[in-house]
Amino acid sequence: MKRREAVLGLAAGLAGCGGGGGAAVSASPTPAPAPASAPTPAAGGSPYPDYNISPTPANTSGMADSAVQAAQKMRTGLNIGNTLEAVGGKSETSWGNPKITRDFVQFIKASGFNAVRLPTSWDQYADATTARIDPAWLTRVKEVVQYCIDADLHVIVNIHWDGGWLEEHCTPDRQVANNHKQRAFWQQIATQLRDFDGRLLFASANEPNVKTAEQMAVLMSYHQTFIDAVRATGGRNAWRNLVVQGPSTDVELTKQLMTGWPVDTTSGRLMAEIHYYTPWNFTGMTKDETWGNQFFYWGQGNHSTTDTAHNPTWGEEDAVDSLLGSMKTRFVDKGIPVIVGEFGAQHRTSLTGEALRLHEASRVYYCKTVAQRSRAFGLVPFYWDTGSLLDRSRNVVLDAKVLDALTA
């Protein structure tokens, strides 16, 4: 999710909106500050130092799973949203959620999920001149990743909206500068997290705002920089599975514009990512507009006979099959796994009576349909939660019907 959508998620109770290593070896690195050694000057005209100061030989231990094999092990994932990616306060609690605890991560596993997406911000923790990320923040992210590995969860770490420096600027005028920053950030992130086994994946970005072929070419350069920077740090990162995002993580745009694929020195270790919030009238729209109404209801058997103005006119079960099925054809059938990094639908608690009953039934059915159809097409669904599904302070389930729909 982008910043504006994340705020909407908190305000509207948007629980779902806008994320493997070999079994014999399990890395359990102790969180530690970033290396104290001074980075070397960068080549290629970058204004930032070269942070790849301690590359190590490629290490295959704990990295047996290809992208396809890792995706097969990730049945259903959960986003810990509006937390590590929170911007504006230099704190994971600045958007109102508590700090992520070991107990909460264990509770995620006990609730039926076997993968976690950690949306993460970096730019606000970095020096504006040198792009050096605060070692304390790197250590904190490493600590949370350790919680996930200790719970035997696959975990995806990304550069999320992050103030929009990359996401809102997939443009030729910012391409060179953003590639320098992308390289500097991923050199540091990858080095800090290098010792974790194959259950940890890295994702280049979040929802890069791309609508044209020109912008797509810029985005592909960002992805290539990401891949090259991670691989160059060596160790387990030479074999780590990496995730690259389609344009705007939109299915239709991905079909239209993502006609190429990045180059990787390690074969079979890349995944694609899209997000699924179709139809937005149902999942995120908060007021009727001149061009169309909100959809309060969704799916067969859940339409209203009295509030027909808010019945869906598009984007139901057939759209799920068509859109997700197209990602199977475009990627999965060619040996490239697809992460549905975010999906879900807001809970319209202002409704009452029969309208609320139908809406809640629609929401449960929507979540179940997207999760089950994703898995049927070989895609890996990650539900977007900002604290409305699982209570992060008390470690209790807040919406048992949606949870059952996701994990069934």
The pLDDT tens digits of the residues spanning 245-283 come to 999 999 999 999 999 999 999 999 999 999 999 999 999
CA distance 127 to 138: 13
DSSP state of 261: -
Residue 34 in this model has a pLDDT that exceeds 50: no
| Average pLDDT of the chain to the nearest whole number | 92
Query: Residue 37's pLDDT is what?
Result: 46
Q: What is the CATH number of domain 3-19+58-407?
A: 3.20.20.80
Element (H, E) at 381: strand 379-385
Q: How much helix, strand and coil, in percent to the nearest 5, is found in the chain?
A: 40, 15, 50
Q: How far apart are CA 249 and CA 340, in angstroms?
A: 9
pLDDT > 70 fraction of the chain, expressed in percent and rounded: 89
pLDDT, tens only, 101-119: 999 999 999 999 999 999 9
- Res. 21 pLDDT band, cuts 50 70 90: very low
Residue 38 pLDDT grade (very low, low, confident, very high; cuts 50, 70, 90): low
* Per-residue model confidence (pLDDT) at position 5: 46
**Residues β-bridged to residue 80:** 385
pLDDT higher than threshold 90 for residue 62? yes
Rounded to 5 degrees, what are φ and ψ at 26? -130, 115
Evaluate if residue 143 carries a pLDDT over 50.
yes
Q: 382 and 79 in contact (C-beta within 8 Å)?
A: yes
Question: Structural domain boundaries of the chain?
Answer: 3-19+58-407
pLDDT score, position 103: 98
Report how far residue 152's alpha carbon sits from residue 312's, in angstroms, rounded to the nearest whole number. Answer: 40
Q: How confident is the model at residue 22 (pLDDT cuts 50, 70, 90)?
A: very low
- Residue 136 has a pLDDT of 98
In three-state form (DSSP H/G/I as H, E/B as E, the rest C), the secondary structure along 224-254 is HHHHHHHHHCEHHHHCCCEEEECHHHCHHHH
The position carrying tokens 């070991």 is 102
Look up tokens 């169309």; give the residue.
Answer: 292
pLDDT for the residue numbered 190: 99
Q: How many CB atoms lie within 10 A of CB 51?
A: 26
Specify the 3-state DSSP secondary structure of 274: strand
- pLDDT exceeds cutoff 60 at 390: yes
Q: How far apart are CA 367 and CA 155, in angstroms?
A: 21
Q: What is the pLDDT of residues 394-403, one digit of tens each?
A: 999 999 999 9
Q: What is the mean pLDDT of residues 231-247?
A: 98
Beta bridge partners, 271, equal 243
- Of 24-38, 144-158, 192-206, 269-283, the least confident: 24-38
Instruction: Tell me, rounded to whole angstroms, the distance of Cα 273 from its chain centroid.
Output: 8
* pLDDT band, very low/low/confident/very high, at 17 (cuts 50, 70, 90): very low
| Rounded distance between C-alpha atoms, residue 167 and residue 258, angstroms | 16
Number of Cβ atoms within 10 Å of the Cβ of 301: 9
Contact residues for 351 (Cβ-Cβ < 8 A; gap 6+): 296, 359
Region at 249 (left for phi over 0; alpha for psi -120 to 50; beta for the rest): left
Predicted local distance difference test score (pLDDT) of residue 18? 39
Residue closest to 97 by CA, chosen among 395, 408, 393, 401: 393
Query: Which H/E stretch holds residue 383?
Result: strand 379-385
Query: What pLDDT band is residue 41 in, cutting at 50, 70 and 90?
Result: low
* Average pLDDT, integer, range 174-203: 98
CA distances from 147 to 29, 104, 313, 384 (A): 11, 9, 43, 19
| pLDDT > 90: percent of the chain | 89
Inter-residue contact 162 to 2 (CB < 8 Å): no
Cα(19)–Cα(206) distance, integer angstroms: 7
Q: Which ranges of 233-332 would DSSP assign to H, the alpha helix? A: 251-257, 280-283, 317-330
pLDDT of residue 40: 57
- Position 50 confidence tier, pLDDT thresholds 50, 70, 90: very high
Catalytic residue IDs: 207, 342
Residue 59 pLDDT greater than 70, yes or no: yes
Q: How confident is the model at residue 290 (pLDDT cuts 50, 70, 90)?
A: very high
Dist CA 216 CA 162 (whole Å): 20
Q: Is 118 helix (H, G, I), strand (E, B) or coil?
A: strand
pLDDT in tens, 320-371: 999 999 999 999 999 999 999 999 999 999 999 999 999 999 999 999 999 9
Give the C-alpha separation, 403 to 406, whole Å. Answer: 5
Number of other residues whose CB lies within 10 A of the CB of residue 240: 25
* Confidence check: pLDDT of 16 > 80: no
